[in-house]
Structure formats: C-alpha cells, structure tokens
Structure 1
Amino acid sequence: MAKQNRPVEKRMPVREEAEPVVGMRLNKYVAHCGVCSRRQAADLVKEGAVSVNGKVVLEPFYQIQEGDLVRHKGKVIRPEERKVYLLLNKPKGLITTVQDERGRKTVMDLLKGKIAERVFPVGRLDRDTTGLLLLTNDGELAQKMTHPGFKMQKEYEATLDKNLREEDLQRIREGLTLEDGPVKIDAIHYLLDKGKNTVSILIHVGRNRIIRRIFEHLGYEVIKLDRMYLGGLTKKDLPRGFFRHLKPREVIMLKHFTGK
C-alpha cells in the first residue's frame, strides 16, 4: 500500500504592524518589500537593479522620501504589510533562490498559487541537499540570521560513500583546517541504526558547502545530505516538499535568538 503524506496543519501567518517608510534607507526598503535580505538588497542597489522615480540609485543609504516610486528590475515594489514566516522541507533537485537565470526549478515553485505574499529563502541549501529551509518577507530577520556573527545551530544527517573511520570522526570533532580557514563543529556521532557511513553532525558555521567540504577534505563523498534541525525548528509532521507557517511562539523564538 502506498504511503500517504500526512496532511500539514494550516496556520494563520504571523502579522505585524507595517513600519513607516519615509526616511527609511533604500536597502532596508527593498528588504521590507520582500525582495531579499538587507545585505543582499545593498548589493542589488550597488549593481543598479533598483531605481527611484525612474532613475537608478546606486547608494544603499539613500533615504526614501514621501511619494517615491521604487522599482526593482523595472517592477514597482512596495513594503509587505504582513510578515510571513514559512518552514519548508526541501526536496532534492531544487535551487535555493527566488529565480534561476538558467530556468531550473527553484524552491519557489513549491509555493506558487499557495501564498499571496512574496517571500525569499533565508540562507541556502545546495541543489542536492534536502531538509529544512526558512522563507520569509522579513528582510531584517533574514539579515540577522544570515550574518556571520549569528550562531544559528543546524543539524544534518550525512550519508557517505563509505564507512567513516573512527580516527576521521575524531579529527572532525577536534576541528579541521579547510582552504578557507579552520572549522569547528559542535557535535558528531554515528547513526548506528543506519550504519557507520551515516552520521549526525551539529554545526553553527554557515560557510558555503561546509558539510560536504569537511568530508571531501578527508577523502569521503557525501551522497545524501538532509538538514534535520534549524535554530530550534524540526521536521516534525512536515513531509518532504511541504511547507507550513511558523507558529507565533516559533517566530518569537527566532527573534529572541537574533536579538530583533
């Protein structure tokens, strides 16, 4: 008998009061419109992707004036009045971006026709990695969560192409030095019910492909990588390819972690 996905409980999005925009910096305004995080918005402005009243503005610190019409890539953008926080259990084969220039499927394809607000992914999971991904239109929270100084703990289940030797497990525990500097994990252990080629690894470092590069450094290939835990959020009752709105207490928890 085919296994049926358990239905995901629908929850009302968390609502917040809109922040006044007059006097707001341009990069913050773009982030408040749900385009991206504030740091990413600054890059978009510097790249000339944002115009104000028909003129390209390259200064992220430009202050929004009464009546300003802001466009991103030619499309008028306005701040989202309602903040939305989604938790997605990402399947394999999707790009973690709002739009892919090569036309490949992205995580946004899973949301089409299901939410009215424009959201963007917080951080990245590479195409072959599965598991928990947060999406929101809260640019300020996203900026804080992706800042290098923010230590958000994440747990991954990694399946390797061969058994992980005890001595290599210990080397990972003690810390490694990769091409972009030293890396220290929080914890690692075998998942013995799945064999010595499968481990749980707890980490707060957010560098690109860090889990895969840790094992590549020691001569292993990660053939499956699944993010099981993200800053206090888990995959409980969330099937692969499904998403849910965060509960109010979960949003409060994330904001507490980030100091927002």
Structure 2
Amino acid sequence: MLNKPKDTVTTARDPEGRRTVIDIVKNACPQRLYPVGRLDRNTTGLLLLTNDGELAKKLTHPSFEAKKIYHVFLDKKLTPEDLETIASGVELEDGTIKPDAINYVDPKDLKQAGIEIHSGRNRVVRRIFEHLGYKVEKLDRVYYAGLTKKNLPRGKWRLLSDREVMYLKAGLSK
C-alpha cells in the first residue's frame, strides 16, 4: 500500500524519465510489483501494488466493483444544485456516471467534497466536476476496496498485513 505523492506516475517505467510509483517502493520485496489500477500523475492517495497478477486483475475488473472514496478540492464552492446533479448522475462523453455517494466534507467549506464511486473509468472524478464547470485543484483517494491510507504519510508505503490480503482475496469470491 502506497500513499502516492503528487507528480508521480502510476506505471512501472516512464519513457519521459519521471518518478514512478515503482521507484518509491523499489526495495519493498524481491518480486516485481505492479500497480493495481491507476491514479493520475497529480492525484494523490491510496494505491495498491502487488506481485499477484490474478489479484490485480480481479481488483481492477468492473465486476469486482471496488469501492473508491476521493477527497476533492475545487476551485470554487460546489453549489447544492450541482451536488444534487452529480448525485443523480452526469452524462459524460463515454456514458452516464452516477456516484454511489457524494457530499460535502465540511459543511463550512463548500469547496471540498467526498465522492464514492466504483467505476474504473479514466479520470472519471475529475471529468464529473469539469463537466459542471469546476476545476479540481487537488484529488486524494482515501479509500480503496476496504482499505484506507490512515496513518500512512504521503510518499510512504507499507506491506499489507496477512489479514488485509485475506480480506482482499475473500472479496474476490463474490
């Protein structure tokens, strides 16, 4: 589990020479690790890496419906009307997206929202808000498939416990 920092690409190698998530975890284990899914270069937060190809494939397959929660920081206040529009579903160029949940993180700061989705579509959280005229200034994934990044500082990683691995694998037997 990595709390991915900004300006890091979610790939094993980058032809442009940018820092990758693999660079950060290079001494984690002797096996070759692969990112589970992707986070944009400027999106921070929880990213899983594994040497178990079957687990990675299942966690990223749409049928697994891995729940993801993002903390979104916007350039302006999210209106209650737009919050409701997003909750009801937004029509994007690749189809309708309806989050599982959305709300303000803090009722006193309407520039921050929490959104829960299970879609794995490319840049979907950013595109939802951009569709309604907002600029996402910061995007942080705080939850993925039952795991949180609690107590894991940005740019740091830790091995999953046996219990966490069993939890992830048990969730695959749906």
TM-score calculated relative to the size of structure 2: 0.96
CA distance in 1, matches of 2:6, 2:75: 18
CA distance in 2, matches of 1:94, 1:193: 31
Larger Rg over CA atoms: 1
1:227 aligns with 2:141: yes
Q: Quick check: 1:247 aligned with 2:158?
A: no
1:193 deviates by 6.2
1:163 aligns to 2:77 (yes or no)? yes
Note the C-alpha offset of 1:232.
Answer: 0.8
Aligned residue for 1:112? 26
Return the structure number with greater relative CO, CA threshold 8 A, min gap 6: 2
SS at match of 1:149: helix
Q: What is aligned with 1:198?
A: 112
Task: Give the equivalent residue in structure 1 for 2:91.
Answer: 177
> Which letter maps to 2:79?
R
- Alignment-derived partner of residue 41 in structure 2: 127
Structure 2 Cα separation of the partners of residues 90 and 238 of structure 1: 10
How many aligned positions are there?
Answer: 174
- Residue in structure 2 matched with residue 70 of structure 1 by the alignment: none
1:23-74 superposed Cα distances (whole Å, 9 cap, x missing partner): xxxxxxxxxxxxxxxxxxxxxxxxxxxxxxxxxxxxxxxxxxxxxxxxxxxx
Out of 15, 19, 23, the residue aligned to residue 101 of structure 1 is 15
User: Counterpart of 1:210 in structure 2: which amino acid?
Assistant: V
CA spacing shift, 1:112–1:194, aligned 2, 3 Å: farther
Superposition pairs of residues 142-161 of structure 1, within 5 angstroms = 142-161=56-75
Instruction: Note the C-alpha offset of 1:113.
Output: 3.4
Residue 205 to residue 238, structure 1, CA distance change in 2 (3 Å): same
Partners of 2:96 and 2:26 lie apart in 1 by 40
Q: CA deviation at 1:116?
A: 1.8
Q: Secondary structure, in 3 states, of the residue corresponding to 1:229?
A: strand
Please provide the CA RMSD for this pair. Answer: 1.3
Task: Please give the TM-score of this superposition, normalised by the length of structure 1.
Answer: 0.65
Q: Deviations over 1:185-204 (max 9, x none)?
A: 01111122661000011111
**Which structure: greater strand fraction?**
2
